[in-house]
Structure 1
Amino acid sequence: MPRASADASLRHRAELPLLTVGVLLTIVLIVAGVLLLFNDTAKPAEIIAVATAATGPLTLWLRTHHRHWLAIGDGILVTERQLPEIHAVYVDVAEHMGFGDGDGQRPRPPLYLVGRGTSMDGTAGRCHVSTGALTLHADFAEMVYTVDDLRTVRYLLAHQLGHILAGHTTPVRATVNAVMLGAQLNRPLATAEEYSADRAVGRYVPEAAEGVVALYSDKNIRARIDIDEYLADAGRIRDDIWLRIANLGSSHPVGVKRMLAFRAMREQGWDVHGELF
């Protein structure tokens, strides 16, 4: 079993350049703020503008923590005694990705089941910086019991652990993301981060990759989706200019682009970079 690590090899090739832009913008913002503090001729409007921009990362950090802890407060901790079937799936996926209780392993983040009123997706929480915290929507967890579908849950869990492995849950990343949001450059970076997490899936639990199709169909009919037919149609429209524009402006890869990236992983190995445009 390959050992998981937080090295840059998991990251999409566009992630580092976009992140560099974000870091440079953050530095410029900090320098501008310091200069204004010591500039007697600075106009009040300029000071307010810079102060607002500077507090943006803190505001986003607080909002993210608040939203995440609301989900956890309403959630159910998954353990060996609570939803043991899902816990077993989680432990297995985490072990493949280097998370566990053994020496040299990353601590396995706690997993919470969340219900209605929360996002229809697993999310890698930014509350526990050292280990992370995961939430899994009950509609997806239900697939383990109603349609005996483990791939979808395995994909969601592996994808979110991939975010942690790629370093997407650190305070520095949260700060840069907030600055990129203010500069309207956050969507390409977010898409690159999604591809990075998918690359972790392809590297450590490739058999779970096709579970992603449940995100684009109803949980009860996912098993009836013909993956090969889906991919054939995806291949026909992948180069349409409007699809490319939609993908570039999205915070997640559109389903067509994401599925094609997984198909390439199946044929070429995990080291595939999905299309941003």
Structure 2
Amino acid sequence: MPLLTLCIVLTVAIWSLLLYVVLVEHASPAEWTFPIIFGAAAPFILLLYSFKRTYWKTVVNAVELTDKQFPEVYELYVRIAKDMGFGSGKGAMSNIPRLYMTDGSGTLNAFASKCQVHKGYVCINSDLLEIAYRHNDLSGIGFVLAHELGHIKCGHVSAWRTIAHPMANLIGLGQSLTRAQEWTADRCAYYYAPEGKESMMVLIAGKHLYKQVDMDEYFRTVHNHKGGLWLKLENYLSDHAVGYRRMEAIKETEEKGWDVHGKML
């Protein structure tokens, strides 16, 4: 939250200063007034365009999950969404976001976004969905779905956060802001789908071998690598926590419960 607040304050300050100079100080010729005002409003216009463009680019090449299309996963998704309060709140929480599957082409990924200012959706790659069916691991998919719904619930795909990202990138905190949001979404998943947390090893070992990883031995070898400067630097430069850090946080939840925030460095 401090990172987001800083970026929003700086963004609003720059916009306000720009409008003050144009409208009050008349520092620019009159013919430049409209272009400058339009330029200040452009991020909002581009944001609305981006929401719609990304949504339609996704859904025209996707399969929507329903109670008749991959019903086992959809039923799990709806249960988690309702537990989070979707369908009974206001704004983004007023309905259960639609769930889509796209061809992953070997990529293990999922994302949450918006199709309207107050309406989100979740998309999961087919390679991740294979885990539920070929490896009989619905709990692992539940963790992923809870993570993505957490992004929507916590406002990570909101207009203000999206607009704040350029400023975050400008001051060198873009990756850190995204990484902080990922940790928060993980905490949502720890709370609403804790039984699937160890399945996140799939992001490190792959969808065919992740169940064969000896977790105790994995953590033993991880701890043999001292958390020095290079580990901190790599984590800082990543928009998602590196595998070491993410699995450490998952293990920590076994002792401290769901409210664990992983290391930013």
TM-score interval, smaller chain: 0.7 to 0.9
**What is the CA RMSD across the aligned residues, in angstroms?**
2.9
8 Å contact from structure 2 (residues 201, 210) kept in 1: yes
Aligned residue pairs: how many? 259
Consecutive unaligned residues in structure 2, runs of 5 or more = none
| CA–CA separation in structure 2 for the residues paired with 1:118 and 1:75 | 16
Query: Which one of the candidate residues 37, 50, 61 is aligned to 1:74?
Result: 61
Give the fraction of aligned pairs with identical amino acids, expressed as a percent. 30
Q: 1:107 — aligned with what?
A: 95
Q: 1:276 — aligned with what?
A: 264
Q: CA 1:106–1:224 in 2, change beyond 3 Å: closer, same or farther?
A: farther
Q: Does 1:134 align with 2:134?
A: no
Query: Which one of the candidate residues 155, 158, 170 is aligned to 2:143?
Result: 155
Shift of 1:205: 1.6
Normalising by the residue count of structure 1, what TM-score does the alignment of the two structures yield? 0.82
Q: More helix per residue: 1 or 2?
A: 2
| CA–CA separation in structure 2 for the residues paired with 1:57 and 1:262 | 37
Shift of 1:150: 1.7
- Which sits farther off after the overlay, 220-229 or 266-275? 220-229
Q: 2:248 — aligned with what?
A: 260
Shift of 1:119: 6.6
| CA–CA separation in structure 2 for the residues paired with 1:202 and 1:208 | 8
The letter for the 2-side match of 1:29 is: I
Normalising by the residue count of structure 2, what TM-score does the alignment of the two structures yield? 0.86
Query: Which one of the candidate residues 202, 205, 211 is aligned to 1:214?
Result: 202
Any idea what SS the aligned residue of 2:100 has?
Answer: strand
The equivalences for 1:226-241 within 5 A come to: 226-237=214-225, 239-241=227-229
Give per-residue Cα distances to partners, 1:34-71, cap 9 Å, x unaligned.
Answer: 1332344449xx99999767635644553454233211
| CA–CA separation in structure 2 for the residues paired with 1:241 and 1:31 | 39
8 Å contact from structure 1 (residues 57, 174) kept in 2: no
Any idea what SS the aligned residue of 2:262 has?
Answer: coil
- Which sits farther off after the overlay, 222-231 or 251-260? 222-231
Query: Which one of the candidate residues 65, 77, 84 is aligned to 1:97?
Result: 84
8 Å contact from structure 2 (residues 105, 127) kept in 1: no
The equivalences for 1:27-66 within 5 A come to: 27-38=12-23, 39-42=25-28, 55-56=42-43, 58-59=45-46, 62-63=49-50, 65-66=52-53
Any idea what SS the aligned residue of 1:148 has?
Answer: coil
